[in-house]
Amino acid sequence: MCGIVGIVDASRSAGWLRENVTAMADAVLHRGPDAGGVWIDGEAGVALGHRRLSILDLSELGAQPMVSASGRYVLSYNGEVYNFADLRTELRALGAQFHGSGDTEVILAAVEAWGIQAAVERLAGMFAMAIWDRHNHELSLVRDRVGIKPLYWAQFGRLFFFGSELKALLACSGWRPEVDRDALAAYARWNYVPTPHCIFRGAAKLAPGTILTLRPGALPQISPYWNLRALIKDRPHAPLAANDSATIDEFETLLRGVVGEHMASDVPLGAFLSGGTDSSLVVALMQAQSQRPVRSFTIGFHEPGYNEATHAAAVARHLGTDHTELYVGPERALAIIPKLAQYYDEPFADSSQIPTFLVSEMTRHRVTVALSGDGGDELFAGYTRYRWAELVRSRFLSLPLALRRGMARFVEMAPSGMWDAAGKALPRQWRVGRVGERAVKFARFLRQPDADAVYTRQHTHWDDPESLVVDSREPRGAPFDATLARDIPDFIERMQLLDLLTYLPDDILTKVDRASMAVSLEVRVPLLDHRVVEFAWRMPPQMKIRSGTSKWLLRQVLYRHVPQQLIDRPKMGFSVPVAAWLRGPLRAWAESLLDEKRLREAGYFDPKPVRGAWAGLLAGRDVEQEALWGILMFEAWRDRYDVPTERAPARAAVA
């Protein structure tokens, strides 16, 4: 894995370009500690930089930025293309010659043979890349289909610059960043800044599956080369095979091949293993293709409601992996939390960022590449909240709103312990952990006017972000698109699509990328290979949820490798006991950041709702934990990046 940076500004000297692109590349040294390089064209005003984490072709022949055989194209690239061997064979038949054994040369040869978009459409992998066309003086920025790898960009006057992480842009001397309050409002709702927005005004994240083209004298143009919504809308609805067994066989063949490609590495390789369906399946298919025990890694917690390490160990024993586990307590969290703002650049508040960093750090001691099971829940309807939201839609939304509000009040009045006890009496497939906390969330669902509002409420941490964030207007993205229900009428499938478009790239994949790259670990996600994504969306819904069982097809493949009794248990999720930690060992740290005077003087948040939520958490309302974690992560980020205290800017009147 690598870090990429670049600048386009014809008004700058070659010396300025070199100095700044070098500083930008140094800012992402952690993404590529093995080597680095810059390429400058002073006359054109272009500078590309690269930091390299050597995975394939460890020789100098894999160094970047790399110039194509004809000299026309220059590439700085972050990622892996898993089908590069097949593409190399095809390109050789067209006359291409290769000197190294890696995938970078293959990408450049494909661009020369087919053009940029046609070449990108044939790549199977995770990538963010910058391609400079020396003939036409055009820059193309490309991000992979589902957003596994990040790419930020900004333009101010004639200065255009980009990088794998926001800290690279901050290293460019031509930029004076200011907080975007509208983006902050969106962050308050989701606990991440949604694409294409950025926490700083004037900067943006390139959306997954798109190409940005910068031509001389023109504004950047962004166009999609892969459109998941259109793919789903226009898909055939017929079953993939004549019967279940044939579909399972076809799916296992595809997955085995994809996992095999993802195992290609010239450095040590392993896998994250939580003991859940997704990671267990990935590790099982790895072990089935390995001549030696796969190295597997997991994180455990001493709190029973959050610990899956024992399940992971049982799966590891059955598969015969070389398994490593680390148990984490509050003291480890205390050590990590001050560094989170540095790792994530933008405010980011998924509390599982802590165990994700810790498992990445532990894994990096033994391997350089790890496979992960991320994506299975979104593709195969695995989240418990899908079923609860569908239950609300089908059973309750037809009731009068006043009645539903009364039911919600009843749910909220009952003690948390009562709901925890009731949860243990549910059928096994419906059981979840922390039922009391989830019951409060369920009550909030009952108050929503329609099904799509239920989905939005699932992910909402602050109900009214515009009131919380002073002088802000929240940008509205895909979750508020009223036309989505027309194109995707099935409610569960609509929730899956929204998660794939928003929550997956902006939360899950961001969390994994920053945590792993902070310790120079490459993480690959075979379940999000676009060939698997497209296969999953061609399946009829009953292949995903059947008789109350989620991820049905994934489970059928997994049961061929791991006994069902080791897998079938209530879903726990990769979370940490934030509420208990905030009431205990993290209380002083949290209190200092949530101090009313501090909040009021900073001028970003209205202190009243923040202090109210803090009082509620201290009184035992665990449901407030993620909302408060979002405020805490912003305040920690503000301290780390020395974001100035500012009063809200005056707004122009809106006609």
Catalytic residues: 2
HSE (side-chain half, CA atoms, 13 Å) at 343: 26
CA 152 to chain centre: 14
Among 187, 338, 348, 367, CA closest to 268: 367
Among 446, 513, 519, CA closest to 192: 513
Beta bridge partners of 324: 297
Query: Is residue 105 a contact partner of residue 66, using CB atoms and an 8 Å limit?
Result: yes
**Exposure class string for 112-148: b at 16+ Cβ within 10 A, else e:** bbeebeebbeebbbbbbbbbbbbeebbbbbbbbbbbb
CA distances for 273 relative to 217, 277, 294, 372, 556, angstroms: 50, 10, 11, 8, 19
Rounded-to-integer distance, Cα 332 and Cα 6, Å: 36
- Written as six digits, the tokens of 201 are 């005004």
CA 495 to chain centre: 16
Cβ neighbour number for residue 517 with a 10 Å cutoff? 26
Cβ neighbours of residue 466 under 8 Å, at least 6 residues apart?
A: 185, 472, 473, 474
φ and ψ of 640, to 5 deg: -65, -40
Rounded-to-integer distance, Cα 108 and Cα 68, Å: 6
Cβ-in-10-Å burial (0-12, 13-18, 19+) of 10 comes to: middle
E strands, 22-117, in order: 35-41, 46-52, 66-67, 73-81
Cβ neighbours of residue 69 under 8 Å, at least 6 residues apart?
A: 96, 97, 108, 109, 112
Rounded-to-integer distance, Cα 646 and Cα 625, Å: 27
Cβ neighbours of residue 245 under 8 Å, at least 6 residues apart?
A: none
Rg of the chain, C-alpha, whole Å: 24
The DSSP bridge pattern shows strands 203-205 and 138-143 to be unpaired
E strands, 221-321, in order: 221-224, 269-272, 295-301
Task: Name the strand (E) or helix (H) holding 138.
Answer: strand 138-143
- Written as six digits, the tokens of 563 are 């006994």
Among 234, 209, 244, CA closest to 224: 209
Beta bridge partners of 198: none
